[in-house]
């Protein structure tokens, strides 16, 4: 299932006061980024999820916010459900820009606390290219 363009545009409009948000499609969902850090996800079933961490988890738990999950199947046929660190705020926030911004701020703060990913160093190329250079 892919994200509805109308729903995504609606969410981005509500979040516009945060600043320039960039998006990246991934696995039928869309990641929302502020200052290069993913703070929210719009899922393929048109749900809005906000990044959580140990400092915000209690607020999400108190509001009974479900986690974004996916199910994976192992080669032996066994299924496993994995919960991500993104939680769906109460649906009522979609009707109130200020509430939406308050929940999104929790996501931007959680994202800011995450360590920056190390930049991958570019390899010298494939082993075949290294062999050719030696000749």
- CA dist 101 to 54, 98, 125, Å? 20, 5, 45
- For all residues of the chain together, what is the average pLDDT? 86
Element (H, E) at 72: strand 67-73
Residue 94 or residue 121, greater confidence: 94
Evaluate if residue 59 carries a pLDDT over 80.
yes
Output the domain CATH number for residue 87.
3.30.1460.30
Domain that holds residue 80: 5-134
pLDDT of residue 130 exceeding 90: no
- pLDDT 10s digits, 17-53: 999 999 999 888 999 999 999 999 998 888 999 999 9
Reported for 81-87, long-range contacts at CB under 8 A and 24+ positions apart, including other chains, are: 84/49, 85/51, 85/52, 85/53, 85/110, 86/40, 86/41, 86/49, 86/50, 86/51, 86/52, 87/49, 87/50, 87/52, 87/60
Element containing residue 133 per DSSP (H, E) = helix 127-134
The count of domains in the chain is 1
């Amino acid at each position: 299932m892919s994200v509805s363009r109308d729903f995504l545009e609606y969410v981005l409009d509500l979040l516009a006061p945060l600043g320039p948000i960039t998006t990246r499609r991934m696995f039928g969902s869309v990641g929302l980024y502020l200052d290069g850090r993913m703070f929210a996800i719009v899922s393929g079933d048109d749900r809005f999820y906000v990044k959580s961490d140990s400092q915000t988890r209690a607020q999400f738990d108190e509001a009974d916010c479900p986690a974004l999950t996916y199910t994976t199947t192992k080669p032996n046929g066994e299924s496993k459900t994995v919960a991500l660190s993104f939680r769906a705020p109460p649906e009522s926030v979609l009707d109130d820009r200020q509430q939406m911004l308050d929940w999104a701020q929790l996501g931007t703060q959680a994202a800011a606390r995450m360590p920056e990913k190390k930049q991958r160093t570019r390899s010298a190329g494939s082993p075949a290219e290294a062999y050719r250079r030696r000749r």
